[in-house]
Structure 1
Amino acid sequence: MANSEISEITQILQDWNDGDEDAKERLMPYVYEELKRQARMLMSRERKGHTLQPTALVHEAFIRISKQSGIGWKNRSHFYGIASHLMRQILVQHARTRSAAKRGNNPVHFSVDDVQLPVEQRAESILALDEVLGRLAEISEEQSRIVEMRFFGGLTNEEVAEALGISSRSVVRKWRAAKLWLYRELNQ
């Protein structure tokens, strides 16, 4: 992405902060492809024939973003961080809906790095990860956000660092620590 495009996105987000209602519509062409890339990455982890498609996930996330008020957008990385959080929420809601009829109490064990699970375990795995991320947020909100942006949003260490206002080295260190903590929690 060219620096001029990054600057344009930041300016549009600032316009949105300033109350420009047209800014939301102007933003979509700039961010759509990146949001769709994130959604495709997330959906590639789902079973074939999943009822939620990447395009629908992007549109639902953008609708939810558009309804947000008072966010105080900082930059494009902040925007993508919020978008990845919302996509995670949408996938979790979708997984809850799918597994509502099953209601089994069998714990699901999996690794954050290895999400290629049997079809019947994917919805439960997303729910298990969401639950554990909630517990991680109680311990370290920052590590929870890093996991969310890396795992659900597909952001790079540099993009996460920019969104959180910390160094890339801190992201790498906290990502490593969070993965270890999650591994222990998910495989107890």
Structure 2
Amino acid sequence: MAEDITSLLRNWRDGDDSARDRLVAVLYPELRALADRQLRGERANHTLQPTALVNEAYLRLSGLERMDWQDRGHFVRMAARVMREILVDHARRRQAAKRDGGQRVTLTGLDVAADTGTVDALALDDALARLEKIDPDKARVVEMRYFGGLTIEETAQAMGSSPATVKRQWQSARAWLFDALDSGT
């Protein structure tokens, strides 16, 4: 199946729109599961539903002209990033409309004993952007694990790294993010 996905990605890259549509059909259940996991961490009355998140992600991904898709892992990384962008854009629009301090999300996906419950989605995005400048690999691990819902093993495969390395990066990134969010810097 992985080879079929890689072939579809290459065909899409080469301009075959039907390959894009077949790829999304094959990966839709996985994209839907990513959206479900991501939205579980959002506030209970979130107006964005998993299907809408997947559809918006599909529209944004399909608009990427001639993306040099490498493999399934590359596609999943991009889908996780696009979902993050959609959720942050949604939070910004909501904040602008209500001026209520932003959308709150739980950090349950970060799975830390000191989990304080909720954090501003925009603050999390800002902290993750700062982490990306310091250590891009750790930021990608967070993106895939938290926003993409991938396991340590899936993340390692997508990054071409070992599970032990990803686990260390994940632990370090979580600690850094909690410190950054706690201190507000």
TM-score range, shorter chain: 0.7 to 0.9
Query: What is aligned with 1:49?
Result: 45
Query: What's the CA shift string for 1:86-105, capped at 9, x where partnerless?
Result: 00000001011111244467
TM-score scaled by length of structure 1: 0.85
Contact 2:91 2:121 in 1 (8 A): yes
Q: Give ranges in structure 2 of 5+ residues lacking alignment.
A: none
Cα 1:21–1:115 change in 2 (3 A) is farther
Partner SS, residue 100 of structure 1: helix
Cα 1:66–1:76 change in 2 (3 A) is same
1:61 aligns with 2:57: yes
Query: What is aligned with 1:153?
Result: 148
Q: Say which of 65, 78, 81 aligns to 1:82.
A: 78
Cα 1:141–1:44 change in 2 (3 A) is same
Per-residue deviation, 1:60: 0.4
1:98 aligns with 2:94: yes
The one-letter code sitting in structure 2 at the alignment partner of 1:170 is: T
Higher relative contact order (CA 8 A, sep 6+): 1
State percent identity of aligned pairs. Answer: 45
Q: Say which of 116, 122, 127 aligns to 2:122.
A: 127
Find the aligned partners of 1:109 and 1:47 in 2 and give their Cα distance.
5
Q: Say which of 128, 135, 141 aligns to 1:140.
A: 135
Alignment of 1:155-170 (within 5 A): 155-170=150-165
Q: Say which of 29, 34, 38 aligns to 2:34.
A: 38
Find the aligned partners of 1:158 and 1:71 in 2 and give their Cα distance.
25
Per-residue deviation, 1:47: 2.7
Find the aligned partners of 1:178 and 1:29 in 2 and give their Cα distance.
33
Partner SS, residue 72 of structure 1: coil
